[in-house]
Structure 1
Amino acid sequence: MQGSRFAFGPFVLDPGAGTLLRNDEPVAVGHRGVKLLAALVARPGEILGKAELMDAAWPGRIVEEGNLTVQIAQLRKLLGPATDGGEWISTVPRVGYRFIGAINQLGGLKRKALPLPDKPSISVLPFLNISNDPEQESFTDGLTEDLITDLSRIPGLFVIARNSAFAYKGNAMDVREIAEELGVRYLLQGSARRVEARVRINAQLVDAASGDHLWAERFDRSLDDVFAVQDEVTAKIVEALLGRLRAPPPRNRPKNIEAYDLCVRARRLMDDTPLAAREAHLMLTRAISLDPDYAEAYRWLAMNHWMGEVHSAGPTQPTRSLALELARKAVAIDPNDAGCRWVLAYLLAYERSFAEADAGFAKAIELDPNEADTFAALSDITVLAGRVGEGLEHVAKAFRLNPFPASWYYLALGQAQYAAGQYQAAVETLRSDETYRTSSRRFLAASLAQLGRLDEARAEVELFLVANPRFSIRHWAATEPFRDARTLAHFINGYRKAGLPE
């Protein structure tokens, strides 16, 4: 997204893109580090309190002060000494920190417009919470996410994924600019207000090319009717874009609104720290206790169990078994949910149930051809099966549907590029990843080693092993769902060159 960039010394920080360059070369700074540095350089010379900085890096979260200390220390290490030999970031004891150094604010780099698909294309922008209660934010976000899911299941539409849609939350931008960045023609905008047992929803469909409003409507209904309103909005959009009125396919809806809120909030936490994953676990477990027939809660709890261990030395057998059991339960409750299908398919591949996994991915795509996560996960499994070209195609489709994706997409892309022998491209991809997910470093190290950059490769290995001390090539090879001996040998070769332990 467009926005200001900040130049200081040899560095250029682009907060919107989440990148830091040193002499035009990317610096492997994490997501939190970018947020903190952006807050500091936006107000050079000013003292920023610890609470303010924690709000910038962990918005809406309660975190320990030690997390801030660790992030500041990592930033100082990455930046090195300032031009005068001192530090870029100074500590103000018992108060906070301030940025020292001259800042040159640059104009934003315009993101290249994506070409329009050959079918009606749309993004649902985050609905505004116009109630006076910030606790209703999760309800409004859930409404947005459900509309995205409903529309993406309609054949004939191209629908941008939620991760990319939510990249615009809180940003006041021209609809044409947003549409160009996402490569869509139409945008759905709206607002919601939940007051006691009633909900008021405004929605409007905009043609970004002309600026015309194709459809707009207000709804004032009982809270019990909120999912019926979502179905009605979806049907009206389909009529406007495809020229026919069509109700969305039936979905498994929650019967308990608190379970719905808990599930939405938990999803926000899952791609974050281990502590956040534990919070998500408690929320999802509570959601299931409130609504035992809510498929989405089982789906996300399955992924939370899996993600809790998969990014270290590999998931343990009890973790895999529990995740698989929960994913099967989700599909049993709602066999027509593409998200539940791909999660189960992915876990089945790690159980070496390849035929069942392949069928599951195919069914997920049939149910929802716009589910970007399906294609990103399928890329991982396809590459390890030795079909590297297909894997690259799948991950490219995932990025097109989700131009501002979660960090694990970069992991999937970097892995596919390594497998294809595109080592320099893999290095660039993996260094743009959010580095708190340290699992990317093993592929980065292997790519650097294959390029002959052994000192850099061993530095990445050292960082990787700090977070993954139990890692071994033998255990990893036995855990990953490889189906092709040549592809496995290629990865092992890179790991050995980089110096990863046998």
Structure 2
Amino acid sequence: MGEERVERRLAAILAADIAGYSRLMGANEEGTLAQLKSIRTALVDPAVATHRGNIVKTTGDGMLIEFASAVDAVRCAVEIQRSLAEQNAAVPQDQRIEYRIGIHVGDIIFDDDDIFGDGVNIAARLEGIAEPGGVCMSDDAYRQVRGKVEIACDDIGQQSLKNIAEPMQAWRVRLTDQAASAEISGLDIGQSQVFPPSDRPSIAVLAFQNMSGDPEQEYFADGMAEDIITALSRFNAPLVIARNSSFTYKAHAVDVKQVGRELGVRYVLEGSVRKAANRVRITGQLVDTATGAHIWADRYDGELGDIFDLQDYVTESVVGAIAPAVQKAEIERAKRKPTTSLDAYALYLRGLARLHQFGNRQANGEALRLFNSAIEFDPEFASAYGRAAFCYLIAKVNGWIPDTANAIAEVKKLTQRAIELGKDDAIALSASGNALAFVVGDVGVGAGLVDRALALNSNLAEAWNFGGWVKIWLGEPEAAIERFARALRLSPLDPWLMAMRAGTAYAHFFLDRHDEAASWAAMALQCSPDYGPGLRIAAASNAMAGRPEQAHKAMARLRELSPTLRLSNLKDMLGPYRRAEDVARYEDGLRQAGLPE
């Protein structure tokens, strides 16, 4: 009896699934199904038909589509994602249906109206590392479409995919006309995400130029721009890029159009500060990044004691230019100042300058001293209490706390005052909440404080980052992924990018998505190769994904940096996880990677 012939052919395979499907169904099962049916009927099925695709099969949250051409597959994917992004613009973030799409060209087997083989498996794995709303393709697919499809792609390097023997080169489709993020001298940001333009007015405030001729006044110029960012962030209308990203352009001659592309913003605010004796001069200009045209420019002169009024004037002028319909209540809320003491304010700015020297033990200690000094000048300065508490968190993360009991007592005291005084201060609440959760272990109260901060200021990237970690500790990894995504959107060039990416890796790990976890861990280590949490999750996720070589490599570096690290003393470095099974899974991954008991 002859052997049955197997039908094989070369095809382009598109694999898609819905990000956060379980969460959406849990929140509103009937509504989600109705919304999904509408999207399939109005957007997906017509796009597949237009580009000559064949839907091989569908599942509750995904689909597998075959194309004869990689060009057709990519054009179909781009059309679906762009159309869906436009439709989602008016939908609340937590209710959006967003596909992740992977595309590969390879040999496939047809059997009983289904398809099998490595070509299918690789497309599915690439879908797993795509961003919600994004498209990821293999190098084989990229070679087929290069120069034939009017899109740009970012090389995301070699990716280790589950059950695929060798790492594969992968590409991320850029769904807007943004250019890839440039490398900024002195800052290794790795592969940065590319974000579509916001449907809200969006702005980046660059570091103000210090025109005083005195290097000691640099902090004052930085503080001016930072306070304008804070004030703008309190408005609901504009999307405001975080200071940690916009300040990466400091001391560089930049093209505002380039800044607009790299940060995904429509407007850029530039300025300068000249401080001499008791006089201050502030200049500012607002530029449309699409055209390079000046929307507004002005100069402000005043006494040093008028500095807060000058800041308010600049803020109102900028918001009036980009969002003229802002309500009076929002304007009044933006005017609220954390302190009226210029001495406390100056010390606080110096403390921020030290605090932003991340990973430096001496700088962190100096920041704590300066925040405490600011508190002495103004005992009701809520943000200073919150920042001081956060210094203890930085110390614990880096293992710089010799007396844990004393640190816990200090954080409790500082956060209590920050909460009492800063009921409307998002910075005080978010920094205090994160410190209270991590250092003290009071996750419930800490989570509530971060949530309150986000309600007050939805533009505060660090609060979204803090909130992501809190959700991981609470055992809510899907929510954590969404929060880290918001943080990345608001601060795509953040010096703490490794923490946002590592947090995303941990969230995927606890969802048993070990390939995705390993991919995010690799991106975190691109930013900071010796970042402890990144190395730990890289080791654990690669071990659980069946890639012992990569797991052991990460573990070897981790143990080189921390020779005394054992499973028995790992607790000191872990967050306050609520779910015992999360800790057990994490420890099992590290054990498989080679961490001794």
- Give me the TM-score of the superposition, normalised by structure 1: 0.73
Match of 1:293 in 2: 380
Residues 95-110 of structure 1: pairs in structure 2 closer than 5 A = none
Match of 1:378 in 2: 467
Flag structure 2 segments of 5+ consecutive residues without an equivalent: 1-153, 159-166, 170-183
- Give the secondary-structure state (helix, strand or coil) at the position aligned to 2:532: coil
Match of 1:67 in 2: none
**Structure 2 letter corresponding to 1:282:** R
Name the CA shift for 1:468/1:248 in 2 (closer, same or farther; >3 Å).
Answer: farther
Aligned pair partner of 1:141 in 214, 219, 222: 222
Q: CA shift at 1:402, angstroms?
A: 0.4
In structure 1, how many angstroms separate the alpha carbons of the residues matched to 2:337 and 2:422?
A: 6
Residues 143-162 of structure 1: pairs in structure 2 closer than 5 A = 143-162=224-243
Match of 1:338 in 2: 426
1:241 corresponds to 2:322: yes
1:411 corresponds to 2:502: yes
- Give the secondary-structure state (helix, strand or coil) at the position aligned to 1:302: helix
Q: CA shift at 1:326, angstroms?
A: 1.1
**Structure 1 letter corresponding to 2:339:** P
Name the CA shift for 1:254/1:112 in 2 (closer, same or farther; >3 Å).
Answer: closer
In structure 2, how many angstroms separate the alpha carbons of the residues matched to 1:345 and 1:112?
A: 28
CA contact (8 A) 2:451 2:467 kept: no
CA contact (8 A) 2:518 2:538 kept: no
Aligned pair partner of 1:268 in 335, 348, 353: 353
- Give the secondary-structure state (helix, strand or coil) at the position aligned to 1:191: strand
Q: CA shift at 1:356, angstroms?
A: 2.6
In structure 2, how many angstroms separate the alpha carbons of the residues matched to 1:261 and 1:472?
A: 44
Residues 69-84 of structure 1: pairs in structure 2 closer than 5 A = none
Aligned pair partner of 1:329 in 417, 437, 443: 417
Name the CA shift for 1:208/1:343 in 2 (closer, same or farther; >3 Å).
Answer: same
Name the CA shift for 1:366/1:423 in 2 (closer, same or farther; >3 Å).
Answer: closer
Moved more, 176-185 or 233-242: 233-242
- Give the secondary-structure state (helix, strand or coil) at the position aligned to 1:116: coil
CA contact (8 A) 2:505 2:518 kept: no
- Give the secondary-structure state (helix, strand or coil) at the position aligned to 1:190: strand
Name the CA shift for 1:111/1:487 in 2 (closer, same or farther; >3 Å).
Answer: closer
Name the % identity: 31
Moved more, 198-207 or 434-443: 434-443
In structure 1, how many angstroms separate the alpha carbons of the residues matched to 2:538 and 2:354?
A: 26
- Give the secondary-structure state (helix, strand or coil) at the position aligned to 2:285: strand
- Give the secondary-structure state (helix, strand or coil) at the position aligned to 1:123: strand
Residues 302-317 of structure 1: pairs in structure 2 closer than 5 A = 302-312=389-399, 316-317=404-405
CA contact (8 A) 1:284 1:300 kept: yes
Q: How many residues align?
A: 406
Aligned pair partner of 1:401 in 490, 510, 524: 490
Match of 1:368 in 2: 457
Match of 2:342 in 1: 257
CA contact (8 A) 1:120 1:241 kept: yes
Return the structure number with greater relative CO, CA threshold 8 A, min gap 6: 1
Q: CA shift at 1:110, angstroms?
A: 11
Name the CA shift for 1:138/1:248 in 2 (closer, same or farther; >3 Å).
Answer: farther
CA contact (8 A) 2:501 2:520 kept: no
- Give me the TM-score of the superposition, normalised by structure 2: 0.62
In structure 2, how many angstroms separate the alpha carbons of the residues matched to 1:329 and 1:260?
A: 18
Moved more, 117-126 or 252-261: 252-261
In structure 2, how many angstroms separate the alpha carbons of the residues matched to 1:491 and 1:177?
A: 41
In structure 2, how many angstroms separate the alpha carbons of the residues matched to 1:435 and 1:329?
A: 37
CA contact (8 A) 2:502 2:521 kept: no
Flag structure 1 segments of 5+ consecutive residues without an equivalent: 1-16, 26-37, 40-55, 58-108
- Give the secondary-structure state (helix, strand or coil) at the position aligned to 1:374: helix
Name the CA shift for 1:439/1:423 in 2 (closer, same or farther; >3 Å).
Answer: closer
Q: CA shift at 1:278, angstroms?
A: 2.1
1:179 corresponds to 2:260: yes
Match of 1:483 in 2: 578
**Structure 2 letter corresponding to 1:400:** R
Name the CA shift for 1:287/1:491 in 2 (closer, same or farther; >3 Å).
Answer: same
Q: CA shift at 1:272, angstroms?
A: 2.5
CA contact (8 A) 2:368 2:391 kept: yes
CA contact (8 A) 1:191 1:202 kept: yes
CA contact (8 A) 1:448 1:457 kept: yes
Q: CA shift at 1:168, angstroms?
A: 0.8
Q: CA shift at 1:436, angstroms?
A: 4.9
Name the CA shift for 1:428/1:439 in 2 (closer, same or farther; >3 Å).
Answer: closer
Residues 84-95 of structure 1: pairs in structure 2 closer than 5 A = none
Q: CA shift at 1:466, angstroms?
A: 4.6
In structure 2, how many angstroms separate the alpha carbons of the residues matched to 1:455 and 1:468?
A: 20
Q: CA shift at 1:500, angstroms?
A: 2.3
1:320 corresponds to 2:408: yes
In structure 2, how many angstroms separate the alpha carbons of the residues matched to 1:458 and 1:285?
A: 43
In structure 2, how many angstroms separate the alpha carbons of the residues matched to 1:208 and 1:433?
A: 27
Aligned pair partner of 1:425 in 505, 519, 529: 519
- Give the secondary-structure state (helix, strand or coil) at the position aligned to 2:296: strand
In structure 2, how many angstroms separate the alpha carbons of the residues matched to 1:316 and 1:464?
A: 23
In structure 1, how many angstroms separate the alpha carbons of the residues matched to 2:203 and 2:231?
A: 12
Name the CA shift for 1:402/1:227 in 2 (closer, same or farther; >3 Å).
Answer: same
CA contact (8 A) 1:342 1:364 kept: yes
CA contact (8 A) 1:121 1:157 kept: yes
In structure 2, how many angstroms separate the alpha carbons of the residues matched to 1:476 and 1:370?
A: 34
CA contact (8 A) 1:312 1:468 kept: no
Q: CA shift at 1:471, angstroms?
A: 4.1
Match of 2:537 in 1: 443
CA contact (8 A) 2:232 2:238 kept: yes
Rg (Cα) greater in structure? 2
Q: CA shift at 1:459, angstroms?
A: 4.1
Q: CA shift at 1:369, angstroms?
A: 0.3
**Structure 2 letter corresponding to 1:264:** L
Q: CA shift at 1:265, angstroms?
A: 2.9
In structure 2, how many angstroms separate the alpha carbons of the residues matched to 1:220 and 1:307?
A: 39
Q: CA shift at 1:485, angstroms?
A: 3.2
In structure 1, how many angstroms separate the alpha carbons of the residues matched to 2:529 and 2:360?
A: 12
Name the CA shift for 1:445/1:368 in 2 (closer, same or farther; >3 Å).
Answer: same
- Give the secondary-structure state (helix, strand or coil) at the position aligned to 2:448: helix
In structure 2, how many angstroms separate the alpha carbons of the residues matched to 1:409 and 1:310?
A: 15
Match of 2:55 in 1: none
Residues 459-478 of structure 1: pairs in structure 2 closer than 5 A = 459-469=553-563, 471-477=565-571
CA contact (8 A) 1:256 1:291 kept: yes
- Give the secondary-structure state (helix, strand or coil) at the position aligned to 2:251: coil
CA contact (8 A) 2:443 2:470 kept: no
Q: CA shift at 1:481, angstroms?
A: 2.0
CA contact (8 A) 1:301 1:326 kept: yes
Q: CA shift at 1:226, angstroms?
A: 0.6
Residues 36-51 of structure 1: pairs in structure 2 closer than 5 A = none
Q: CA shift at 1:486, angstroms?
A: 3.1
Q: CA shift at 1:430, angstroms?
A: 2.9
Q: CA shift at 1:387, angstroms?
A: 1.8
Q: CA shift at 1:149, angstroms?
A: 0.6
